[in-house]
Each structure stands twice: as C-alpha cells, then as structure tokens.
Structure 1
Amino acid sequence: MHANDDYLVFSTIFEELTGIQLNAYKRSQMERRLRSLSVKHKMPDMAMFGQAVKERPDLLRECKEKMTINVTSFFRNADRWETFVHLLQSHYKQHNQPLRIWSSACSSGEEAYTVAMLCKSNNLPLENQRLFASDLDESIIAKAKNGVYSFQTTPPFDQQLHSEYVSKKIDGFHVSNELKNRVSFSIIDLIHDDYPEQMDVIICRNVCIYFTEETKQVIFRKLSNALRQEGLLFVGSTEQIFHPHTYGLTAVAPFFYKKSI
C-alpha cells in the first residue's frame, strides 16, 4: 500500500460507480493504463480524476474501455482452432447432443463469430442453434452485436469459409445476419456474476493473465463448475493452469483442458 494512495482512492470510487473491483487485477498493469488516461485529461492526481469520473459519464465510459483488454481477431492463432475442431468433433461424437458453447471474454465478437463459422462448416450443431458470448464492456458488446469490422483491423477474408459469412462493403467487413443470429451476446463480469451452466465448451483466452493469482483461482474454479463432465476449457497462448486437477481439470492438448471429475 502506498502512502497517500490516490490510486486506491480512485479504485474505491470506481467500484462504487461500476461494481468492478480493480484490486482483482494486477495493479501494475491496470494502474499504468488508468494513470495514462488521467494524464490525458490533465488530471495527474488519480483521486482528482476519480471525482471527475463521478460527474462525467463520458469519462466513466472511457475508463471502463481502458481497463478492459480488447485485443482479438478472427481465427487468432489458427493452429489452435484446428485443435479446437478436432477436440469438439470427438466430444460431439461421444455425447451426440447439441453443443453448449460459451466465449466468455469475447471482446468485439471476432472469436464468437469464428466459433460459429467453424461449427456450421463442420456440421456441429449448437443448442437452440446459438452459442453464448459475453464480455464486461457494454460498448464492446454493442460493437460485437453490430458485426462490422474495419479494413485496418481485420485481415482480408479470402478463404471460402470467410466469404460465405462475411461481405466486404464500403465501411468495412460485415458479418452476415445468419452468422449474427447464431451468437447470443450478453454482459458478464467473470469475477462476480453467475456463469451459464452445463457447458460443453468454454473459451476463456488471454483474460486471466491480467488478474491476480487469487482472482485467477476463483475464476478457474467457476469455469470448471460451469462445464459438463468431460467439457472442454480453451485458454490463451500465454496462459497455463498450474495443478489443473485442483479444479477438476486434466490437460488434453496445449491450451486445452477437460473436466475430469
């Protein structure tokens, strides 16, 4: 704890306004992000910035956008998706029932739409013909629902799989209505909110690396509890679950775990 800790003052104000506990995140990373934002608005003192956030909804919205990590893309880490499809086909063949899939930190939606494309192209049925997708950030969920992506941030859709569901228009790439109808977006706080239950697959990539060790343990336990027996958990390229048996999980491939108990 720092003397005269203005970041702690800001954190208290931010939690009162949003319910989000910044102490669940690694302080060095989150403080750096938010202090840069306060300096941008010519308020280098975080306590002062907290008072301004109380009075200005636009600043509060900007803070929420700054503290969430929205880095994603279609088919990010392509080799991972090959493994994903292989494991999912095996799971479906064994259980022979429509799949319940949740993209648990979907950001602007590219990951969820990637899963929807892969399920459709590989004849893997979804329960109620939809998969779940969620994020903490309301504005980023709105972007995901809109399904429009700029040319600057989205790689060219030159594969047949892409072109079937995504069209190139003057303002960017547009996800088809058919694909949008296959994803149900919502707002979920992974720390505090309840999770969808009895999932066959949960994708939680490149999120837990930003949390403290204590918070990660809580989330891994909740993720495991949300899986069906033998359900799959898909984590990010920089993440590893140490002692997965602690959470009733078994490693089945790099970045993939199966609920074993």
Structure 2
Amino acid sequence: MSDFLSDSDFTRIRDLIYNESGIHFSDSNRTILESRLKERLKLQNLESIGEYYKSLTKSDNELKDFLDSVTTNLTRFFRNQAHYDTFINYVIPDLVERKRQSGDKKISIWSAGCSTGEEPYTNAMVLKEHLPPDFKIEVIASDLSLKSLMKAKEGLYLKSRVTGIPDNYLNKYFTEEDNSYRVKPEIVKLIKFDYHNLKFGNDMRNLDIVFCRNVLIYFDEPAQKNVIDNFWNSMAPHSYLFIGHSESLFGMDTQFKFIKTDWACIYGKIQN
C-alpha cells in the first residue's frame, strides 16, 4: 500500500472517476492514478487526498481538469492503415451508392475520443479526397479532455507529428510553418469540435460513421455496453462503426453486425 494513496482513498477516487466518466481504474493502473493525483495536489497547493477529494466534489472545473489528466491522449494521423483502406474502399463507396439512391448527399461522421485532432482531420481529408464533389461533409469530433480539444482546434502540428501523412495529402491539405504544419481552412471548417463525456448520451442522430478507437479499453463491461448502445441510437439505419483493432463487441448484447472486409474488421448498423 502506498503511503500517499491508501486503499480507501484509491477506492473512493477510482469510484468517483468511474461514476463521472465510466473510465475504470484497476489495481494495475494504480500507479498512474497516484502520479496524476500528486500533480493535481501540487497545482492546488493541497496536502492530503482528503482535501483534494473535497475539491473534486465541490468544483466542476477541477473535476473536468482531473478527468482530463487521467485520460491517455495517444493518437496519430492515419492510425491503423487497414481501417483507412476499409474506409476508402468499402465504406465510402457503399454509402455513396445508397445516398445517391435516396437523394441525401451528406456524410456525417463522429470521431469520439478524438484527442488532439489527428483522427478527425484524417477523416475529413479522406472524405474530401474520395467523396464526389457534390456531397456535403459533416465531421463531429469530441473528447473528455478540454486541453486536447483546444490543441485539436488549433490544427497546428510539429513535423514529427505528421510523419504518417501521405505526401499528396500533406501537400494538398497543410501549409508549412517553421517547424510545424497547419491544417488548411478548407478542412478545418468541416469539423465541429465539442466536449463530450461518453458515459452520457447525446442528441446526435443519423450518423453514417462512428470512429471510437482505443477508448472502450478504459471502460468495464457495463460502461462499454452503455457507450455502444448510445452509438447505436446516434447512428443512421445503415451505418458503420470503427473500434480499436484490439477491441471487440464479441459477447456483448448488441445489434451491431460484425463485418469482415478484405482489409479489416468493422461493425455495421444494418437495418435496410
């Protein structure tokens, strides 16, 4: 047992995080939680976990900042190329054909847990590149971390962060600034960044595609089921869900269909 974080303090802080966000901290993650708590106590000039716990329960702003600090924001452009091969060669052609038949020439996509913006910008560029010019693009990007969202909105990335972007995309959709690259306004304007806690539902409806990759791993089974059910309610009758390559809906009571493509496995809400 840590002298800094007792078993009882660990339990009540862990339960608070779970109740507020659905994120589950196991014993194996205890050291991560402890380090984040030390950082917050130092910033708040507090001496004990008890004092800090009172601060968390009284201040919505501190609670948001704390939840921000315990989330891991690991991402990159074109992460998991097999997903993007599926997106380009399977999902987009299918949706375009169906949309043309219905007369609805708009693709709506949600990047849930978007971190610092690499994924939604990638998705916007891919849609811009591969959709017919008469189609409208709507990209919604959300995260639990306000700090990450502010970075995402800025659309400015160090050269070391853009190494995964194909040259044709980099030249077409970015401008170089000193040691960085900035996303061009034509892509930025396609994206709406918004704070959202996946534990709770949302008012989005008829989404054609949802990306939520490497987020479910932070939730226990009931919280995962809640998130997946909320996605189902947000998605159009014929739509697609991308989750992390190490994540699965296997064994979960869900109506999503497992889809194996030539490139990767995804899920579909197939009702028509």
TM class by smaller structure: 0.7 to 0.9
Q: Give me the whole-angstrom Cα distance separating, in 1, the residues matched to 2:124 and 2:149.
A: 16
Per-residue CA distance 1:56-89 (angstroms, 9 max, x = gap): 9997665333212211110011121011112222
Q: 1:221–1:54: structure 2 CA closer, same or farther, 3 Å change rule?
A: closer
Aligned to 1:205: 213
Counting aligned pairs with the same residue, the percent is 23
Aligned to 1:35: 34
Q: Give me the whole-angstrom Cα distance separating, in 2, the residues matched to 1:21 and 1:235.
A: 22
Aligned to 1:248: 255
Aligned to 1:70: 73
Which is further off, 41-50 or 71-80?
41-50
Q: Give me the whole-angstrom Cα distance separating, in 2, the residues matched to 1:39 and 1:154.
A: 33
How far off its partner does 1:129 sit?
Answer: 3.6
Instruction: Report the secondary structure of 1:130's partner residue.
Output: strand
Q: 1:75–1:23: structure 2 CA closer, same or farther, 3 Å change rule?
A: closer
Q: Give me the whole-angstrom Cα distance separating, in 2, the residues matched to 1:180 and 1:20.
A: 34
- Equivalent pair of 2:78/2:165 in contact (CA under 8 Å): no
In the superposition, the TM-score normalised over structure 1's length comes to 0.84
Q: Give me the whole-angstrom Cα distance separating, in 2, the residues matched to 1:219 and 1:54.
A: 24
Letter in 1 for 2:199: I
- Equivalent pair of 1:200/1:232 in contact (CA under 8 Å): yes
Q: 1:88–1:94: structure 2 CA closer, same or farther, 3 Å change rule?
A: same
Letter in 2 for 1:64: L
> Unpaired runs of 5+ in structure 1?
none
Q: Give me the whole-angstrom Cα distance separating, in 2, the residues matched to 1:44 and 1:88.
A: 54
Q: Give me the whole-angstrom Cα distance separating, in 2, the residues matched to 1:171 and 1:61.
A: 32
- Equivalent pair of 1:133/1:185 in contact (CA under 8 Å): yes
- Equivalent pair of 1:99/1:126 in contact (CA under 8 Å): no
How does 1:1-261 map onto structure 2 within 5 Å?
5-11=8-14, 21=20, 24-28=23-27, 31-40=30-39, 46-51=49-54, 63-86=66-89, 87-96=91-100, 97=104, 98-124=106-132, 129-155=137-163, 157=165, 159-243=167-251, 246-253=253-260, 254-261=264-271
In the superposition, the TM-score normalised over structure 2's length comes to 0.81
Q: Give me the whole-angstrom Cα distance separating, in 1, the residues matched to 2:56 and 2:38.
A: 13
Q: 1:167–1:3: structure 2 CA closer, same or farther, 3 Å change rule?
A: closer
Per-residue CA distance 1:188-226 (angstroms, 9 max, x = gap): 111114151111111111000110111001111111121
- Equivalent pair of 1:89/1:124 in contact (CA under 8 Å): no
Question: Greater RCO between the two (CA within 8 Å, min separation 6)?
Answer: 2
Measured on the aligned residues, the alpha-carbon RMSD in Å equals 3.1
Per-residue CA distance 1:217-250 (angstroms, 9 max, x = gap): 1111111121111210011111111146x32111
Q: 1:198–1:89: structure 2 CA closer, same or farther, 3 Å change rule?
A: same
How far off its partner does 1:29 sit?
Answer: 5.8
Which is further off, 60-69 or 214-223?
60-69
